[in-house]
Amino acid sequence: MKGRPIAGFHAVNARLKHAPDSIVALYVDASRRDARMRDLLARAEQVGVRAIQVPVQRLRGLAGDVVHQGVVALCSAEQPAVTLPDVLSKVSATTLLLLLDGVTDPRNLGACLRTADAAGATAVVVPRDRAAALSVAAQKTAAGATVPLVVVTNLARAMQDIREAGVWIVGADAQAPRTIFDIDQRGAIAWALGAEGSGLRRLTRERCDWLARIPMVGRVESLNVSVAAGICLFETVRQRGAA
């Protein structure tokens, strides 16, 4: 049976709550009968999704290396693929993009999608190469997030298109002279972030309109990219709310 697998109670419950019609098949561990499993089965029954009890070996085959916790759902695409031209054709003062450069850990990608969704971002943009794919692990971490993931062939070129569409790009850079609080973010904004440690690549940094740093007052020198994304995106939310 075809479908994209998502695994774990949190991810599957989120799909049952937000998009039950996208579930092609739901498989559960036949030997697990605890309260958490009963709650999930009850929710599945309420939304008309039939759970199929299978041996745990079948779940391992579906979930791969991801911890499945006894539940795996095969899902169809929840929404059609969104392209960068789709996003840029609707640019407004409320446009908020997250550009990820060199984020190769699928769990970091999933966490960034979840953070971007919480901040009301328009889309998350990633390059096709040198980036994590929307794997089972990424989907599990991103549980509940519906923000579009836009994949581009060349991130630097895409950034030029984004700027020409009227979106200012702010790059998060630990060495920048200005902080994220010094940048006016009340218009259309795209945040560009690199992986923890390596940061933005040279070409990506050069395509930014501004560079800004998160002020760090403790001993920690860098933050996980999803944490940094949350701080930057919600500073934009704060400024817009204040305005």
Least reliable range by pLDDT among 119-128, 146-155, 208-217, 231-240: 146-155
In this prediction, what percent of the chain has a pLDDT beyond 70? Answer: 90
**Band of pLDDT at residue 64, cut at 50, 70 and 90:** confident
Across the range 145-154, mean pLDDT stands at 83
pLDDT of residue 77: 60
- Is the domain of 102 the same as that of 31? no
Q: What are the backbone angles phi and psi of residue 6, rounded to the nearest 5°?
A: -125, 145
The mean pLDDT value of the chain amounts to 87
Average pLDDT (113-129) is 90
Q: Are 124 and 148 in contact (CB under 8 A)?
A: yes
What pLDDT score does 222 carry?
A: 74
* Domain-terminating residue out of 17, 49, 75: 75
Residue of higher predicted confidence among 243 and 98:
98
Contact of 216 with 183, CB cutoff 8 Å: no
pLDDT band at 2 (very low <50, low <70, confident <90, very high): low
Phi/psi at 41 (5° precision): -65, -35
Same domain, 136 and 44: no
Range of the structural domain that residue 34 is part of: 4-75
Instruction: Mark whether 70 and 93 lie in a shared domain.
Output: no
pLDDT at 176: 94
Half-sphere exposure of 113 (CA within 13 A, CB side): 27
Same-domain pairing of 38 and 107: no
Considering the domain architecture, whether residues 69 and 139 belong to the same structural domain is answered as: no
Task: Count CB neighbours of 158 within 10 A.
Answer: 21
Sort 38 into a burial class: Cβ within 10 Å, 0-12 / 13-18 / 19+: exposed
The pTM assigned to this predicted structure is 0.68
The pLDDT value recorded for residue 80 is 53
CA 115 to chain centre: 7
Per-residue tokens: 141: 């971490």
Confidence check: pLDDT of 235 > 80? yes
Q: Is the pLDDT of residue 237 over 90?
A: yes
